[in-house]
């Protein structure tokens, strides 16, 4: 996708990142315009928790909402123009359609490429599924656990740092999903890297909030050790993933 209209320039992560920064600004404006809380007094994750049956549902809703808001500012791909080619209920970001998931265990998947989306070996490829991407699953479970913890924190103790920490924890998964949605082709790999770098930034911001949360006694010693260790590991894993994506990009353009 050459968003500047050129037909021969391949965007790298830096050009994509500059564009994504503009997209995020517009997404924030759109969110305020359509939100019942335009001043942002109530964190979005709190509203989603109230509307959802579980923390897992709230996380999924948050990620889907973030992707839809960003998607509004990307030009449509010609390959997706024919709506009749796809079922309205099909989820293109979070896995397989219902028909594939209903296949018997003994069915032969080798007749097409669908079987690859069931395998972790193809998670980081255009044949894979986000649900098999290890760092996304790590980010998802960590965000869900953060939501469970956050619900137990008294409203009076929910400081600005607390709200930012929870919000950034959810954004990690949303940014990983945003990058994954662009795939691994050279033309879009820069966008994948740019989104993943934003996930890395969110993880670093979460780590930066821990000392304040600890000093405010919002975390027990056990919670602090558990969360800090998991965010530290996730941050490092995302950093390695960014480098792997960069290596792919550089290899394909050499």
**Does the residue 103 lie in any domain?**
no
**Does the residue 86 lie in any domain?**
no
CA distance 174 to 252: 26
CA distance 29 to 40: 11
Q: Which of 55-59, 125-129, 155-159, 245-249 has the lowest mean pLDDT?
A: 125-129
37: confidence class by pLDDT, cuts 50, 70, 90? low
Length reported for the chain: 254
Both structure tokens of 7: 């037909």
CA distance 138 to 146: 12
pLDDT at site 23: 86
Q: Which of 23-27, 166-170, 198-202, 228-232 has the lowest mean pLDDT?
A: 23-27
Most distant CA atoms of the chain, gap in Å: 58
pLDDT tens digits along 67-76: 998 887 776 6
Q: Is the pLDDT of residue 6 over 60?
A: no
**Contact predicate 58/45, CB 8 Å:** yes
CA distance 203 to 229: 12
Q: Which of 37-46, 114-123, 201-210 has the lowest mean pLDDT?
A: 114-123
**Does the residue 245 lie in any domain?**
yes
**Residue span of the structural domain in which 120 resides:** 13-74+115-253
CATH number of residue 58's parent domain: 1.20.1440.60
Q: Which of 44-48, 93-97, 144-148, 204-208 has the lowest mean pLDDT?
A: 93-97
Number of domain units in the chain: 1
Whether pTM exceeds 0.75: yes
**Does the residue 21 lie in any domain?**
yes
Unique residue bearing structure tokens 């990620």: 63
**Does the residue 87 lie in any domain?**
no
Q: Is 176 exposed, middle or buried (0-12, 13-18, 19+ CB in 10 A)?
A: buried
pLDDT at site 30: 79
CA distance 40 to 32: 7
CA 163 to chain centre: 19
**Does the residue 125 lie in any domain?**
yes
**Does the residue 243 lie in any domain?**
yes
pLDDT tens digits along 186-225: 899 999 999 999 999 999 999 999 999 999 999 999 999 9
**Does the residue 109 lie in any domain?**
no
């Amino acid at each position: 996708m050459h968003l500047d209209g050129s037909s021969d320039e391949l965007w790298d992560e830096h050009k994509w990142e500059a564009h994504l920064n503009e997209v995020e600004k517009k997404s924030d404006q759109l969110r305020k315009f359509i939100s019942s809380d335009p001043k942002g007094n109530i964190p979005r994750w709190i509203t989603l928790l109230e509307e959802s049956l579980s923390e897992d549902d709230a996380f999924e809703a948050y990620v889907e909402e973030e992707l839809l808001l960003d998607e509004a500012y990307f030009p449509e791909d010609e390959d997706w123009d024919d709506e009749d080619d796809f079922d309205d209920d099909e989820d293109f970001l979070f896995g397989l359609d219902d028909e594939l998931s209903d296949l018997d265990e003994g069915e032969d998947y080798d007749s097409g490429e669908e079987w690859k989306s069931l395998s972790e070996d193809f998670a980081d490829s255009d044949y894979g599924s986000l649900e098999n991407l290890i760092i996304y699953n790590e980010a998802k479970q960590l965000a869900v656990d953060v939501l469970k913890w956050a619900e137990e924190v008294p409203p009076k103790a929910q400081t600005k740092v607390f709200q930012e920490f929870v919000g950034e924890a959810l954004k990690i998964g949303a940014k990983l999903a945003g990058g994954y949605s662009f795939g691994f082709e050279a033309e879009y790999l820069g966008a994948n890297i740019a989104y993943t770098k934003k996930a890395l930034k969110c993880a670093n911001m979460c780590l930066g909030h821990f000392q304040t949360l600890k000093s405010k006694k919002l975390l027990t010693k056990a919670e602090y050790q558990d969360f800090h260790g998991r965010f530290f590991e996730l941050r490092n894993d995302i950093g390695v993933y960014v480098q792997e994506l960069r290596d792919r990009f550089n290899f394909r353009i050499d």
